[in-house]
């Protein structure tokens, strides 16, 4: 599986395309809001000859969902979140305009993610791990063959996700990190929702929140 990242919107959110040798592609956390951002994503997909077959959200804070409706209207694909984050998704419409996104278009999921059911596209199967604390329905996606995690806003390089938003809880987040991320091998790469990639081993050793 190949992970291709884009950084979008005023929150510098990382959007990921996951694709494999079949050409099938899953879009994770599309933060593309402006026409220029949407075009950049679409042009890459077309240039690489990818077939978008799935839309996934690690969680549903505004910066991670701004492009959901664009992906759905463009590619007509299933859209999956964890059911516990449905309220988080619905709340975005109430604050999108005050946050500077008056053209936000809401989108409804077509199904829900569960930790006991892998997400599949092409030749790829992603394990779903439930990681609340930053958001009540946060999940991460783990691809064991390439040792890659799409981590949303749980674990960052030298930091962790904030817990002062509605539905956040510090102790829950730390427990999620210790049980769902630090149990992975040290050489697993974490592709976070903001900032540069890191590894489990690096954060196990030096992340100040995990000492």
Mean pLDDT of 74-98: 98
| Nearest alpha-carbon partner for 6 in 34, 35, 29 | 29
Summarize the confidence of residues 61-83 as an average pLDDT. 98
Range of the domain at 62: 2-210
pLDDT at site 133: 98
User: What is the rounded (10 degree) CA torsion for 25, 143, 132, 91?
Assistant: 0
What is the average per-residue pLDDT within 1-24?
A: 98
In this prediction the pTM is 0.97
pLDDT value for 60: 98
Please state, for a pLDDT cut of 70, what percent of the chain lies above it: 100
Would you state the pLDDT for residue 116?
Answer: 87
Q: Please state, in angstroms and rounded to a whole number, the distance separating the CA atoms of residues 158 and 67.
A: 28
At 189 the pLDDT is 98
Going by pLDDT thresholds of 50, 70 and 90, the confidence category of residue 211 is: confident
DSSP state of 190: E
Q: pLDDT at residue 180 above 90?
A: yes
Question: Which CATH number goes with the domain that contains 7?
Answer: 3.60.15.10
Cα→Cα distances 172→16, 52, 147, 155, 205, Å? 25, 34, 25, 13, 21
- Total domain count, the chain: 1
Local confidence band at 68 (pLDDT 50, 70, 90 cut-offs): very high
pLDDT of residue 155: 98
pLDDT in tens, 45-64: 999 999 999 999 999 999 99
pLDDT in tens, 182-200: 999 999 999 999 999 999 9
What's the pLDDT tens digit per position in 24-48? Answer: 999 999 999 999 999 999 999 999 9
Cβ burial of 83 (10 Å; 0-12, 13-18, 19+) is: middle
How much is the mean pLDDT over the chain? Answer: 98
Write out pLDDT tens, residues 135-179. 999 999 999 999 999 999 999 999 999 999 999 999 999 999 999
Q: Which pLDDT does position 8 carry in this prediction? A: 98
């Amino acid at each position: 599986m190949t992970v291709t990242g884009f950084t979008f919107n005023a929150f510098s959110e990382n959007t990921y395309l996951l694709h494999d040798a079949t050409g099938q592609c899953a879009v994770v956390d599309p933060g593309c809001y402006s026409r220029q951002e949407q075009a950049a994503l679409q042009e890459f997909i077309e240039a690489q000859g990818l077939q978008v077959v799935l839309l996934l959200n690690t969680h549903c804070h505004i910066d991670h969902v701004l492009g959901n409706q664009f992906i759905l209207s463009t590619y007509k694909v299933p859209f999956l979140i964890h059911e516990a984050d449905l309220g988080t998704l619905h709340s975005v419409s109430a604050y999108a305009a005050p946050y500077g996104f008056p053209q936000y278009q809401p989108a409804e999921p077509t199904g829900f993610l569960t930790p006991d059911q892998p997400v599949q596209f092409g030749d790829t199967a992603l394990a779903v791990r439930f990681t609340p604390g930053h958001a009540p329905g946060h999940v991460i996606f783990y691809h064991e063959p390439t040792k890659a995690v799409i981590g949303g806003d749980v674990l960052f390089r030298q930091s962790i996700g904030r817990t002062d938003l509605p539905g956040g809880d510090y102790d829950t987040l730390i427990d999620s990190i210790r049980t769902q991320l630090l149990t992975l091998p040290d050489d697993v790469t974490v592709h976070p929702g903001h900032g540069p990639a890191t590894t489990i081993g690096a954060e196990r050793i030096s992340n100040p929140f995990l000492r």
